[in-house]
Amino acid sequence: MTATHAGRPVYLDNAATTAVDPRVAAVMAAYLTEEGVYGNPSSTAHAFGREAARCIEVARAEVAALMSAEPGEIVFTSGATEASNLAILGTARANADRRRHLVTARTEHRATLDPMRRLEKEGFAVTWLTPDREGRLDARDVRAALRPDTLLVSIMHVNNETGVVQDVAAIGAVCRAAGVLFHCDLAQGVGKLPTAFAGLIDFGSFTAHKFHGPKGIGALYVAAAARPWLAPIMFGGGQERGLRSGTLATHQIAGFGRACALVRVEAGSDAVRMEALRAALWRSLADLPDVHLNSPLEGGSPAILNVSFEGVEGESLVSALPEIAISTGSACSSATAEPSYVLRALGRSAELAQSSLRFSLGRFTSETDIARAGEAVKHAVTRLRSVAP
Amino acid sequence: MTGDTLSPLTREYFDRLAHGGCFPEGLPVVSGEAGREETGTRVRFHLLIAGAVVAEARFQAYGCPHTLAVASWLAGELAGRRRENLLPGTPEDWARRFEVPVEKFGRLLVIEDALRDCVAKWPPDTPLPGKAS
């Protein structure tokens, strides 16, 4: 199956978002019209509401199965950002009178970094860990950062820029032994790597649109034992057992459930195929001189390849590649460019960090896409280098 | 698929990168540069001098598409200019012409600095060594 259509760019930005799988879209569409299941799932006084509630619970079971969790441990949110905010702010504020220290890493997604910074402003202490040059955190460093008043450790599963995979089991074991809560951002791992982390983590954030589900729906896994430590951060109708108020988006949740069911069946074969395509892309790009690999070739996400091209600025490279939809690690929106904070934290120079591209693959990426991308990038890099100082 | 983030003029010059590169050694060339790769923008101009005017100009640049496009356009505008009036307009003029986002204006100042460096290195009354071809 391929999502490449005549005249459209090759889509290699699947870490940003993915195309909705047609099988997911078909399920969702069936919920939207008068013939569909449009009742409010909280309105259980009538058949429309009860049917919607039943569909929600079917989907919840599919989502939970992905984590080897119980359905009651899944809290639906608008996405991974909201889920991470709920886990971090919700635990910190609920336990501010007991523990006021948290631990995270400098290479986390902003959905973690920004709530942590917010908590610092509220008087909490945060320890910011720096991974090694390969981007990995040692569980011993996590253990060393713990204090008697540490409440929560938040470390992501797969880095969204580099595809580096953290040892969730080891970090979880450290937290468990110390009696510290462990939140894991699973957004980039689901659908690409095994994520049956129930029992290893206390909270897990993920979102459907990263694995060919719809945007606007995600979940926080809340281990049953961790539930007493968590308080809501928004208030309204008390849905999701009081943790996330707001009318449940039935069609989104149904699509989320279907996407999870597809992942359970197809993620293994998808990952093998993406790994081969990613390796082929790297082999092609490595023809160029002075390219630097920022992603692990072994043991990383099969879906992410981050490469720096010496002598070429990232935004120019993206602009020189209209035939490829791709992300640069650098934020080229200010007078002084701001290179990727993730790559800088890994010790890459500012120049290399702002010369990076992130290629991210998905279920619909084809061999033809990869071949086109490799040739286009090589041509563009060579052209831009021809005018480099 | 539509929605280029670059203006049509910026796209045109960025896609062509005309006047890119440098001149062979031994020619009467004045070079000026500004910026650093670490901060996202580095620009260098090379002016081939004939008598008291620029015979031809070339540029080298590391930076965003607007930087490369404006540098390319300027290199084409420099031919025939003298030391006293080397700069074709101001960074504000260039920003308007290429619809450069305001947050990138600092990059145009780097380009201006590179041209001013050319002026500083161009001896006012001293004939340059070598001959223009």
- Model confidence at A35, pLDDT cuts 50, 70, 90, reads confident
The complex's ipTM works out to: 0.91
B131 pLDDT more than 60: no
Q: Which of B4, B62, B67 sits opposite A311 (nearest CB)?
A: B62
pLDDT of residue A331: 41
DSSP A237: S
pLDDT-based confidence at residue A75 (cuts at 50, 70, 90)? very high
Listed in sequence order, the residues at least 6 apart from A29 whose beta carbon sits closer than 8 Å to its beta carbon are A36, A251
**Average pLDDT, integer, range A226-231:** 97
Pair of tokens at residue A320: 């020189």
Chain B CB contacts of A319 below 8 Å = 5-6, 14, 64-65
Q: What is the model's pLDDT at position A2? A: 39
Contacts of A7 in chain B (CB under 8 A): 1
Closest CA to A303 of A281, A259, A271: A271
To the query of whether residue A332 is one of the catalytic residues in this protein, the response is: yes
For chain A, residues classed under CATH 3.90.1150.10 are 10-20+267-387
Residue A174 has pLDDT above 60, yes or no: yes
Sorted by sequence, the CB contacts under 8 Å of residue A271 that are 6+ apart come out as A192, A193, A302, A303
Contact between B49 and B120 under an 8 Å Cβ cutoff? The reply is no
Distance CA A31, CA A27 (A): 7
Using pLDDT thresholds of 50, 70 and 90, give the confidence band for residue A334: very low
Q: List the single residue in B5, B65, B105 with the smallest CB-CB distance to A335.
A: B105
Is-contact A142 A171, C-beta < 8 A?
yes
Q: Is B17 left (phi over 0), alpha (psi -120 to 50) or beta?
A: left
Dist. CA A143–CA A179, nearest whole Å: 11
Q: pLDDT digits over A116-148, tens only?
A: 999 999 999 999 999 998 899 999 999 999 999
CATH 3.40.640.10 residue ranges for chain A? 22-262
Q: Give the contacts of B8 (CB within 8 A, at least 6 positions apart).
A: none
Task: Using pLDDT thresholds of 50, 70 and 90, give the confidence band for residue A3.
Answer: very low
Chain B positions contacting chain A at CB under 8 Å are 1, 4-6, 14-15, 17, 20-21, 33, 37-44, 59-65, 67-68, 72, 101, 103-107
Whether A6 has a pLDDT exceeding 80, the answer reads: no
**Are B65 and A319 in contact (CB < 8 Å)?**
yes
What are the structural domain ranges in chain B?
8-121
Cα B108 to Cα B74: distance, rounded to the nearest angstrom: 11
Q: Say if residue B88's pLDDT is above 60.
A: yes
Q: What angle do CA A107, A14, A22 make, to 5 degrees?
A: 145
- The sign of the dihedral angle between the CA atoms of A83, A85, A91, A94 is negative
Average of per-residue pLDDT values in chain A: 93
pLDDT value of residue B128: 56
The owner of tokens 């110390």 is A178
Token pair recorded at residue A328: 């640069």
For residues A169-183, give the mean pLDDT. 97
Is the domain B8-121 a CATH 3.90.1010.10 member? yes
Of A5, A13, A308, A332, which to mutate for an interface test with B (greatest number of B Cβ within 10 Å)? A332
What mean pLDDT is reported for chain B? 92
Please name the CATH architecture into which domain A10-20+267-387 falls.
Answer: Alpha-Beta Complex (3.90)
Q: What is the mean pLDDT of residues A259-286?
A: 96
Which residues in A lie closer than 8 A to residue B17 (C-beta atoms)?
Answer: 383-384, 386-387
Task: Report the C-alpha gap between B62 and A263 in whole angstroms.
Answer: 43
What is the CATH number assigned to the segment(s) A22-262? 3.40.640.10
Per-residue confidence band for A330, with pLDDT thresholds at 50, 70 and 90: very low
Among all residues of chain A, which has the CA nearest to that of B34? A389
Nearest to B64 among A332, A350, A388 (CB): A332
Q: How far is A259 from chain B (nearest CA, A)?
A: 26
Span A210-234, mean pLDDT?
Answer: 97
CB contacts < 8 A, A to B, total 81
| Whole-number pLDDT of residue B133 | 44
Yes or no, beta carbons of B21 and A386 under 8 Å apart:
yes
Q: Among A179, A201, A189, A387, which residue's Cα sits nearest to residue A302?
A: A189
Average confidence (pLDDT) over B73-89: 96
Instruction: Tell me the shortest Cα–Cα distance from B10 to chain A, in angstroms.
Output: 11
Beta strands A356-360 and A304-309, pairing class: antiparallel
Closest by CA to A81, choosing from A217, A254, A244, A197, is: A217
Name chain B contacts of A10, Cβ cutoff 8 Å.
none
| CA count, 13 A, side-chain hemisphere, B86 | 30
Closest chain B residue to A350, measured at CA = B38
**Residues of A in Cβ contact (< 8 Å) with B33:** 389
Note the pLDDT of residue A5.
Answer: 60
What confidence score (pLDDT) does residue A332 get? 37
The pLDDT, as a whole number, for residue B4 is: 78
Q: What pLDDT, in 10s, does the model give residues A85-118?
A: 999 999 999 999 999 999 999 999 999 999 999 9
Contact between B40 and A332 using a beta-carbon 8 Å cutoff: yes
